[in-house]
Amino acid sequence: MWLVFQKEIKELLRDRKTLFFMIALPILLFPLIIGGTLYVGTNVVKGAQEKTRTYAIIGEEFSDELVSKLNDVEQFSLQPLPSQVQTEEQIIAYVKEGNIDFIIEIPSNYSAKVLDSGKIVLKLYRNQAGLKVVENELNKIVDELSKLYQTSAFSSLGLSESQQISVVTPIEVEEINVADARETQGESVGGFIPYLIFMLCLQGAMLPASDLGAGEKERGTLETLLITPIERTKIVLGKFFTIAFAGVTSALVTVLSIALWTAILSKGEAGEVLVKFMSSIDAIDFLLVFFMLVPVVAIFAAVLLTLSIYARSFKEAQGYMTPLVFVTIIPVIFAMLPGVELKGIWAWVPLTNVALAIKELIKGTMDYVQLFAIFGSTAVIAGGLLAFCIYWFKQEKVLFR
């Protein structure tokens, strides 16, 4: 078995294409994709916030104060409204045609004396949900004026400051978060990390798996291997460990690469938060996260090798393996659903229990007794799949179909 493993590892290391996808790609491309996405996304949001928005005001004679505050916003540019735009239908059509970004209508009852005017309703006509910056800026102005008018109204009624607070907020909920920073941050990011690790393990194992089964069929080297004095079981185990090794290596290289690039490039507050969060995780929990990958990689390696042995060609093997990506996503999605915890039946569901366990380890709330259920169920499944793979490899009709 180890002879086969050494032989496959040597061939793997000689194959530049495999090395590129297993090592160079995670080191260079994944950080580049993540960094590029963040850079483009940040610039797009910044550009949207700085873009000038045209607007018009209806009823500007009712509030010089509001008109003045709107004019003070740098991103807003006041435009005259055509005289033929009078009715609400005409206003809606004018905005819908893209002639202007938004129109605000000030009602005739607008007054600083809210006790006399009653509730003031400002109408905002805008065409697209993407104009969030308009809503944000308008809310700032309205909140400021509302607070000012509210204070003025309460003062005219003779209410003290404490009475004003009691009237505005008669009941308030004070939230006391008993979770520490690690648990809070782990709850936010813990669900995403298993998804990333699972995908990396699967993608890293796919290429060598395709080559070690279907690839050998295409090259005609499988027959040579079969006539060697090595049991078929050991041949399968050698290939199985090679695929598992490639999957774990690819995942670890990617994670280490992302961590390294993050440490190098993150000089701001985000970098400090990341370092603080990572340092809060115990070494034992880190090791357990790594050991969680062992049964997961075993399942992936057994399934991939089985498909590769069945396929007639490298291309056909890739076709069989691609749907596995979607199959792997589903258990991780279950782990992200609210109410799904590492208890009861969920501790025995393969992949879902590992995803939940990784999340709990990151949060620091792991019930270590559940590890027996996790390793037990996944080990049984991985062993069953490996046994089927060995059986599959011994079938001449499958090998030479």
* Predicted confidence (pLDDT) per residue in 233-268, tens digit: 888 888 888 888 888 887 777 767 766 766 666 555
Q: What is the model's pLDDT at position 276? A: 63
The domain locations on the chain are: 1-33+179-400, 54-168
Nearest to 320 by CA among 244, 173, 206: 206
Strand 102-105 versus strand 123-126 pairing type: antiparallel
How far is Cα 8 from Cα 208, in angstroms, rounded to an integer? 9
Distance (Å) of CA 226 to CA 53, 217, 223, 283, 394: 72, 11, 5, 44, 10
Q: What is the model's pLDDT at position 69? A: 87
How far is Cα 186 from Cα 188, in angstroms, rounded to an integer? 5
Question: Residue 45 is which amino acid?
Answer: V
Q: How many CB atoms lie within 10 A of CB 89?
A: 9
Record the pTM: 0.66
How far is Cα 132 from Cα 101, in angstroms, rounded to an integer? 12
Cα-Cα end-to-end distance for the chain: 25
How far is Cα 247 from Cα 107, in angstroms, rounded to an integer? 65
Q: What is the model's pLDDT at position 266? A: 58
| pLDDT tens digit at each of 401 positions of the chain | 777 777 777 777 777 766 676 666 666 666 677 667 767 777 777 777 677 888 898 888 888 888 888 888 888 888 888 888 888 888 888 888 888 888 889 888 887 777 777 788 888 888 765 556 777 788 888 888 888 888 888 888 888 878 877 877 778 787 776 667 677 767 777 777 788 788 878 888 888 888 888 888 888 887 777 777 888 888 888 888 888 888 888 777 776 776 676 666 655 555 565 666 666 667 777 778 778 778 888 888 899 998 888 888 888 888 888 888 888 888 888 888 877 888 888 888 888 888 888 888 887 777 888 888 888 888 888 889 989 988 888 887 777 76
Q: What is the DSSP letter of 1?
A: -
54-168 topology per CATH: D-Maltodextrin-Binding Protein; domain 2 (3.40.190)
Strands of 76-78's sheet in order across: 76-78, 53-58, 102-105, 123-126
Distance of CA 145 to the CA centre of its chain: 39
The strand pairing partners of 53, in sequence order, are: 76
